[in-house]
Structure 1
């Protein structure tokens, strides 16, 4: 097929249309016939407008004798490639109309030497392209200017001058302090409360947005503080506008729903402000070396509490605890078995660790550890969940904090998981997208540490026995005994610290339902603390500690606000209720730039630990399920019990969890139907409502994307491995049956297998027996293995017939390595909001596909009908001809 060779294809095509129209008598005849038909039957003006396009396309297929006319026909077919036969159909009329509008706005460049996918702007597109160039130019200039300002003090002389000024006695004057803060508060009040015209608001918010957008690439803490200041100003101004100008007092329904949305926005604003405060200056505490004389080191008890976990989960943790580098006479390890299982006692006796049980299960994990405190006497207590395998350097990395400061009562380290959690496994993005826990352990805990408000997280931590005894042991009044215990020690005047270096790793939850159950317990426990031991009240805490605890508790109260945000746009679409009672342009100028500015700032602060838009997905999955327990706990804090999180299981087949996903599916259906109804109202409703209706539909489409991603998580992936493979990269060697030794690299391992990579081609075969040689420090160990698979330079080994000593040595060489988990944060690049949006969008599409694939047979006909309808609607959309030919 011959393609057009001129740039102005659209103008030529229109002239061609007219020439064919006026030269074909049959077309004129048909036109008058159809015109009279339309007049007689009073067909709508839209159909009459579509008629010429339909007839013009019909003329393409009239038999032509001239070669030039055939080329014209080919060009028209090129411009309208998706018009099918027969031509005269309502669907083709819509296709021609939409494609003609597309060609009017975008003139496809078809020069011979033009790039393949290049599109030249036309009319309004030229304006947008020039605007984009101007914004990029302005962005570059702003970034350079901001960098110059922030690097102004980089020279030595300037820095010294700043230091002299900063250390001057003038700044110690309390009057100047009050004056400075007063002026700052006055400036904020002015910028927040003074009413602007729409033009002034557009200029004001545009400047804030452009400066923030430029500062995102400027390194340094001052740039972050500046972005936070701008985000606080714009978001506070938005909330002031909402309270003063946007409530519809004349419509009871709109007022009720509007107040509900306003309260949800107030909650989001408060959490945003507290989050900025919490993470504005993370501490990044470093380990403190211990005294070289080990005789001065304190005694430590290691607690490994367990209830119903299988022995194969507890075994590696107990063996790894024996490998911790600490004097043997100062280290005592105890398995705290709340399940009273004989095989656990036999195992403890076999490996030489302590075993403790108790006559009842009162107060669950907290009661179990309080019982153990009565039978042990170590100066410090290290606690590991039974699936958390400690590195041998754990105590040497943590104990220095206690020796350095006698008021330190807790040293917490991150919870790292070597298995994928349900989000990572079901969405197949393990080690690609930061998981849900990473924001807390990667950033928030460092922020808490800055304010001396580090939370105890129940595992991977060391506590001072004296502090625990002073507060009466581990807290038992709530189901989150860990955070409550830390709060009580801080009230008693002790300090808590955090070292952001993973020194243990464990198993993530096995399924989405188990994951949600764990979060329900956390949410209920934080709500109980809020009622029973409110951090805002009572003595012993400074303002920073109080705000950090309140922010943590508010985080688990997000159920109702998140559901409000997921349903708010439907109020206007379904009930015509103006929940934001303001003109379309005002809504746009206040909401959209503010949201963008907050997104940019959060991306700057959280970019390595939480990617944009994924926070909404995580909250949407949990919202419905934490709503009830938190609400109940606020009214009845003593209701609820401790539930143990199941780990170490597997899924024998892929399935879809319809029960757990029911709330998301219902919310998704409401939003999808709302968008369809919104389209209907656009064409047949009040034209004065088009602006606010479009905003509501845009909001509903965003909710649909988030809920689609939430639906995708409920498709449980098949997991048949009970032993999880852990990626690795350290040297080893193998000894073949002929005595030859080869250097290899360990690429992954589990508790019963190892993956290796050879430097050269090998002659190894499946089922061959070889020795695997690994080292720990200066000690070298050998392990009998069998080859289970080979591929190029990759070899899979299976461990067999390992006695107890060999099992200990293998865990020391793999799970207990001091550097085993150090790269946990290095796998992720800084967040790019556009990339994150794309990933969430594709995940949402996957969610819709999951619903179709796993749908019950009774719903398959309806789903097939909807799918065909959506496909038919998609076929009406304009097409870029260059992408077809």
Structure 2
């Protein structure tokens, strides 16, 4: 009967539901959690030996931590939180009808990114619809080619003589040379839409607003999505943060500055003496300093820019390790969430929830290792019968499985979203442990736009997973071949077997995730469905449909296959981009893969603006039904992805109206 409630709630999207429905679900999950933990403490501990007692208490601690820390973001969501997208047009009209036209300095810090990546960002920044802006390229690598690129696009160029304090130091150096009333910051791989400033400026008409943060989205699939060929079925793990966690924090006035794609008031940044230089996560701590100074931090949920996700699994993990180090380091800083200052209790808890998130990796590792106690040690860490599992465990976990997608507004699923966690648990546990011991890693830029002629594994990631896989196989063998004499062990055996099988399957998926396929074309490809015309050497135009598009080429579908002797010349699909010269790459029936021939600077600029800078081009996708995604995942566990024409890694864009 309990499951009927979340099933009924799912009939209407959470964002369209009255707030009492969300609150009722929070209460239900909290009561089921309390009921389960009461049973765990009073009836399920195996205290028969010292070993079983230690393991049983360790498992209880891990479960309790994860369950209670999971309740924290739920109870933070008890409060209403705003969705400011509905006010964009109204605020835009207000500032456009006024005399306020603030100068906006757009800061683009860069350190070693490929020129192709940086140029995308500069083209987008320079072509903002709002005219009163100035673009600054803050180059910490001091490359002559970056200077030439900046000057070619009409940007100011700055290379500081001494490179200290990483990105924060670079930004602070840039602040000394610009004087706009507002400033926007974009990482070198981020591409703002042309209406970014137009949509954001209105929110800073309120003089108490110090910073407006917008979501991060990506023009390429992250390694988990790509390596499993699950681009259609998985969402980036950041999606849940920007569509659920950040809006919830906005309700408490505790918006997290994400370091890119934000607009700030210069006087607010000056009031906290610039960006925090002693912090790895300078964005997180700078946002906290602004709040302590009394500035409002707002969050606009509209996707107005897009960047590059990490391209290999090793880089993906290192990026998360840097985020973890930076967030945990903030606990030691006087400007951090535990420091003194004017933070209300709710704000402080909202900021601390982001810190707790990283500590969750240690109890997750306990849950990964605990099934080994059944077959390897012959010890049961939890006394539970099948009837107790059905009565106590099933209602809680089934409610969570049915509720997570709904309460997160379709930004994640319950099971598939945990795929990333299996790969990250071991390295992030080590990161948390070393951070607590006092070692804090430095700032490292995530490599982007990399070519890979061969597929590869990262041994640092694979070796721990292989070791766990081997141990779990031995454990499962022991469970299957050994007949326990103890009745308590016999009753708990079904749980041990189920747990071991789930572990094995999850570890196998994690190993598959760690295989990075070749990437001979580093340009990100976008899924499309666009009517177009293909022009041949005789000037005849043939209708076709573009199904995939990138800076390097396109894939088409035609009504009928092209004659083999036909020479194609140009492709046209919009008045905003000149017809592009093309060369044949591959044919498959009535499908055609093309690559662009040499493009002029103007044509390439038009292509970039059309691909990445059209207003509204990045959709807010909904996580698919989990059972369908699980079927898709199972079919991909053995087959390695093939990234060739007609089998590319495609990211969806909003269809043209």
Q: What TM-score does the superposition give when structure 2 sets the normalisation length?
A: 0.89
SS of aligned partner of 1:399: helix
2:129, 2:180 → 1: CA distance? 16
Residue of structure 1 in register with 2:92 after alignment = 289
Is the aligned partner of 1:392 residue 2:194? yes
Counterpart Cα distance in 2 of 1:272 and 1:214: 22
* Larger deviation, residues 365-374 vs 482-491: 482-491
Query: Structure 1 residues 735, 472: closer, same or farther in 2, change over 3 A?
Result: same
SS in structure 2 of the partner of residue 754 of structure 1: strand
Cα distance in structure 2, aligned partners of 1:545 and 1:658: 41
Correspondences of 1:789-808 after superposition (within 5 Å): 789=586, 794-808=591-605
- Structure 1 match to 2:644: none
Distance 1:289 1:548, change over 3 A: same
Measure, in 2, the Cα distance between the counterparts of 1:742 and 1:294.
49
- Answering whether residue 130 of structure 2 is matched by residue 333 of structure 1, we say no
Q: How does 1:242-391 map to 2 (within 5 A)?
A: 242-249=40-47, 251-279=49-77, 281=80, 283-286=82-85, 287=88, 288-290=91-93, 291-293=95-97, 296-327=100-131, 330-391=132-193
In 1, Cα distance between the equivalents of 2:411 and 2:433? 29
CA contact under 8 A between 1:607 and 1:831: conserved in structure 2?
Answer: no
How far 1:716 sits from its partner (Å)? Answer: 1.6
Match of 1:73 in 2: none
Query: CA 1:695–1:784 in structure 2 vs 1: closer, same or farther (change >3 Å)?
Result: closer
Instruction: Summarize the Cα distance change of 1:292–1:611 in structure 2 as closer, same or farther, 3 Å threshold.
Output: same
Shift of 1:519: 0.3
In the TM superposition, what is the alpha-carbon distance from 1:636 to its structure 2 partner?
2.1
Closer, same or farther in 2 for the Cα pair 1:767/1:472, shift >3 Å? farther
SS state of the match for residue 689, structure 1?
helix
Alignment partner, residue 479 of structure 1: 280
1:236–1:765 distance in 2 versus 1, CA, 3 Å: farther
SS at match of 1:812: helix
- Over the residues paired in the alignment, what is the CA RMSD in angstroms? 2.7
Residue 506 of structure 1 is aligned with which of 272, 289, 307? Answer: 307
Which residue among 209, 225, 241 is the counterpart of 2:39?
Answer: 241
Match of 1:467 among 268, 273, 287: 268
Select which of 210, 217, 227 maps to 2:11: 217
Alpha-carbon contact 1:612-1:837 (below 8 Å) kept: no
1:628-674 C-alpha deviation (Å, 9 max, x unpaired)? 2222323427x321111011102212233333211122222222221
Q: Distance in 2 between matches of 1:722 and 1:798?
A: 14
Q: CA deviation at 1:278?
A: 3.8
For residue 274 of structure 2, give the secondary structure of its aligned residue in structure 1: coil
Residues 111-126 of structure 1 correspond to what in structure 2 (within 5 A)? none
Call closer, same or farther: CA 1:313–1:807 in 2, change over 3 Å: same
- Residue deviations 1:26-73 (CA, integer Å, cap 9, x gap): xxxxxxxxxxxxxxxxxxxxxxxxxxxxxxxxxxxxxxxxxxxxxxxx
Cα separation, 2, equivalents of 1:740 and 1:794: 19
User: Aligned in 2, Cα 1:407/1:731: closer, same or farther, shift over 3 Å?
Assistant: farther
- Choose between structure 1 and 2 for higher RCO, CA contacts under 8 A separated by at least 6 residues: 2
How far the C-alpha of 1:771 sits from its partner, in A, is 6.0
Q: Which one has a bigger Cα radius of gyration?
A: 1
Distance 1:764 1:501 in 2: 46
Tell me the secondary structure at the aligned position of residue 647 of structure 1. coil
Q: CA deviation at 1:759?
A: 7.0
Q: SS where residue 230 of structure 1 aligns?
A: helix
What per-residue deviation string (whole Å, max 9, x for no partner) do you get for residues 669-720 of structure 1?
22222121111223x6445531112212212222222222111111222221
For the 8 Å contact 1:572–1:578, the answer to whether it is kept is: yes
Structure 2 match to 1:700: 500
Structure 1 residue 794: Cα displacement: 4.7
Structure 2 Cα separation of the partners of residues 679 and 758 of structure 1 = 56
Q: After the TM superposition, which residues 279-678 of structure 1 pair with which residues of structure 2 at under 5 Å, given as runs?
A: 279=77, 281=80, 283-286=82-85, 287=88, 288-290=91-93, 291-293=95-97, 296-327=100-131, 330-403=132-205, 405-532=206-333, 533-581=335-383, 585-586=387-388, 589-606=391-408, 608-636=410-438, 639-678=440-479
Matches of residues 95-106 of structure 1 in structure 2 within 5 Å? none
Distance, in Å, in 2 between the alignment partners of 1:577 and 1:534 is 43
Contact 2:37–2:64 (8 Å) recurs in 1: yes
**Contact 1:356 1:372 (C-alpha < 8 Å) held by counterparts:** yes
Q: Distance in 2 between matches of 1:323 and 1:703?
A: 50
Deviation of 1:362 (Å): 0.7
Contact 1:224 1:604 in 2 (8 A): no
Who is 1:723 aligned against?
A: 523
Q: Give, in whole Å, the separation in 2 of the partners of 1:679 and 1:735.
A: 66
Equivalents in 2 of 1:243, 1:721: separation in Å?
55
Contact 1:766 1:789 in 2 (8 A): no
1:515: how far off?
0.5
Q: What secondary structure does 2:341 align onto?
A: coil
Which ranges in structure 1 are unaligned for 5 or more consecutive residues? 1-206, 851-885
Distance 1:215 1:810, change over 3 A: closer
Distance (Å, rounded) in 1 between the aligned partners of 2:244 and 2:134: 33
1:59-105 deviation line (CA, Å, top 9, x unaligned): xxxxxxxxxxxxxxxxxxxxxxxxxxxxxxxxxxxxxxxxxxxxxxx
The answer to which of 364-373 and 281-290 deviates more is: 281-290
Q: How many correspondences in the alignment?
A: 629
CA apart distance, 1:537: 4.6
User: 1: distance between equivalents of 2:96 and 2:589?
Assistant: 48
Per the alignment, residue 142 of structure 1 pairs with none
Q: What is the distance in 1 between the residues matched to 2:565 and 2:284?
A: 53
Distance (Å, rounded) in 2 between the aligned partners of 1:753 and 1:218: 41
Kindly indicate whether the alpha-carbon contact (under 8 Å) linking 2:254 and 2:351 is maintained by their aligned counterparts in 1.
Answer: yes
Instruction: State the distance in 1 between where 2:336 and 2:256 align.
Output: 15
2:405, 2:411 within 8 Å by CA — same for their partners in 1?
A: no
SS of 1:593's partner is helix
Structure 2 unaligned spans of 5+: 641-657
The residue number in structure 1 matching 2:615 is 818
480, 505, 510: which one aligns with 1:710: 510
Please point out which of 622, 625, 634 is paired with 1:831: 625
Corresponding position of 2:650: none
Q: Tell me, yes or no, if the aligned pair for 1:391 and 1:818 is still in contact at 8 Å.
A: yes
Q: Is the 8 A contact 2:570 2:579 kept in 1?
A: no
Change (3 A) 1:767 1:283: farther
Does the 8 Å CA contact 1:766/1:790 hold for their aligned counterparts? no
- Contact kept in structure 2, 1:380 and 1:463, CA below 8 Å: yes
- Partners of 2:270 and 2:27 in 1: CA distance: 43
Which is worse superposed, 360-369 or 277-286? 277-286
Task: Give the C-alpha shift of residue 579 in structure 1.
Answer: 2.6
CA distance in 2, matches of 1:257, 1:466: 55
CA contact (8 A) 2:530 2:573 kept: no
CA contact (8 A) 1:603 1:831 kept: no
1:810-836 Cα distance to aligned partner (Å, 9 max, x none)? 322332211322x2x23x45433x445
The 2-side partners of 1:225 and 1:554 are apart by: 22
Q: CA deviation at 1:838?
A: 4.3
